[in-house]
Amino acid sequence: MPIAITPYQPADKTALIDLSLAAWAPVFAQMAAAVPPFVYANFYPNGWEARQRTDLSAVLDNESGRVRVARLNGQTVGGWDTACIPKTAWGRSTYWPLPLHNSGVASAQH
């Protein structure tokens, strides 16, 4: 069955947060080991997981119209959002990394 790209629905929230935490865990582990502890603690005083959960929840709760979800066989397998930040005129893309290398997710969005 092909990958389906759909608009975000509130029922996707838990799956997207869980995917994000699982995907970013190795990155944050390496980062914690690479920087002085006081620097890491300044950015993540309650741990990176709490910050990731809070930040991603804010996007999903407040900017859901720009979020897309990737589904495979009806299961949520990833998502992303894009935005232009007016104050800076910078763009932002947030991807929830997918454990589906070579699965066709990237080509499904076109």
Q: What is the mean pLDDT of residues 1-17?
A: 90
pTM greater than 0.85: no
Average pLDDT, the chain: 80
CB proximity list for 71: less than 8 A, separation 6 or greater: 3, 4, 5, 6, 77
The answer to whether 51 and 60 have CB atoms below 8 angstroms apart is no
Is a pLDDT exceeding 90 seen at residue 101?
Answer: no
Q: What is the mean pLDDT of residues 75-97?
A: 68
Among 7-21, 55-69, 79-93, the range scoring the smallest mean pLDDT is 79-93
Segments of the chain assigned E as strands: 4-7, 67-72, 75-85, 90-96
